[in-house]
Amino acid sequence: MRSAAGDGFLAVDSGGSGLRVVVGTPDGGTTAPRESRVPVRTGPRGIDPGHLMEQLVPLVRASQPEAGVSGIGTAVVGAAGFASLGDGLRAELPGALEREFGVRTVALVADAVTAYIGALGPRPGAVVAAGTGLVAIGTDLKSWRRADGWGHLLGDCGGGAWIGRAGLEAALRAHDGRPGGSSALLTRAEEAFGPVRELPGRLYPRTDRPAVLASFAPHVAACAESDPVAGGILREAARHMADSAAAVCPAEGEAHVSLTGGLFAMGAALLVPLEEELERRLPHARRVPAAGGPLEGSVQIATELARGALTLPGDEAMVYVVTPKRG
């Protein structure tokens, strides 16, 4: 016989650079985040639930004693790519979480939603979430709108992989003697990856290609002030971000705009052109700093869910909730 579901929750943020977890209680206490730096694999059925669990279990086991919870009744998993690659998670994760931890209530949530709630909480507006990838999400508190977040081959325009990829392309243009090249970025690329002739062999066989590309983005930022090609890449990234924000922000009424995600640690080289673009595209929206990140958003959603009071706009592709069967 299983014991009654505990009052604790676990809140997860699964992104392009790995998995972060806290265990908490609805009264507001949480453990310090624990982290796996391995991005969850994508397989034939989308995001791989087995690989996610493999990383999640030891992190949760390590967090549980510190959390002092009787058990974990609620889990919220915010996952990058969930809206389009979430079929495997929907099918298997609730069952796996129940078997492993006795979890009864599960919410699988697009990372865009955890990012939004973490940044703005339940206020209307738009959030640009940018790390390895990039997605903009907006709400008028009745429904969600999403822009981009299509991954490194189809979009994520302006995100870390996009910037790093553009920087590496500029490095290789310089190597080849094609226009649009940057010898500063070529020097950086060789420092970071070795001789560029070997770069395809180092990049393509890897399964974390977007993260490898994104690892070059800080080099682009470092060159941006002195190198016009690098500066141009960041200005174009800023335009793409503002395009996405404008596509999802409520056009009327009160609107807040916030930026969240590791990419913005890049600083002025990105933020100065971005503020200009946002001012131009969304003059009616009030710029506010993000209160927290997607993990904090996941915690807020888990707290509401554990209290039985989820207030998010419903949208099956973005917020998938499995509650215990009654009877």
Which residues in this chain contact its own copies in the complex, by CB under 8 A?
42-46, 81, 83-85, 87, 146-148, 150-155, 157, 165, 168-169, 172-173, 176-180, 197-201, 203-205, 209, 213, 243-244, 246-247, 317
Min dist. Cβ of residue 44 to its own copies (A): 5
Least separation in angstroms between residue 270's CB and its own copies is: 19
Residue 34 vs 239, nearer CB to its own copies: 239
Residue 220, number of CB atoms within 10 A of its CB: 31
Mind giving me the DSSP string for 164-202? Answer: HHHHHHHHHHHHHT-TT--HHHHHHHHHHHS-GGGHHHH
CA 31 – CA 29 distance, rounded (Å): 7
**Which residue number, 215 or 323, has a Cβ lying nearer to its own copies?**
215
Distance in Å, CB of 234 to its own copies, minimum: 18
Shorter beta-carbon distance to its own copies: residue 104 or 235: 235
Question: To the nearest whole angstrom, how small is the minimum distance from the Cβ of residue 156 to its own copies?
Answer: 10
Whose Cβ is closer to its own copies: residue 187's or residue 323's? 187
Q: How far apart are CA 96 and CA 50, in angstroms?
A: 9
Contacts of 65 (CB under 8 A, 6+ apart): none
Nearer to its own copies, 29 or 200 (CB): 200
Closest distance to its own copies from the beta carbon of 196 (Å):
8
Contact of 281 with 242, CB cutoff 8 Å: yes
Give dist(CA 76, CA 228) in Å, integer: 43
First-to-final CA distance of the chain: 16
- In this complex, which beta carbon is closest to its own copies, that of residue 22 or of residue 170? 170
Cα–Cα distance measured from residue 296 to residue 196, given in angstroms and rounded to the nearest whole number: 39
In the complex, what is the shortest distance from the CB of residue 289 to its own copies, in angstroms, rounded to a whole number?
25
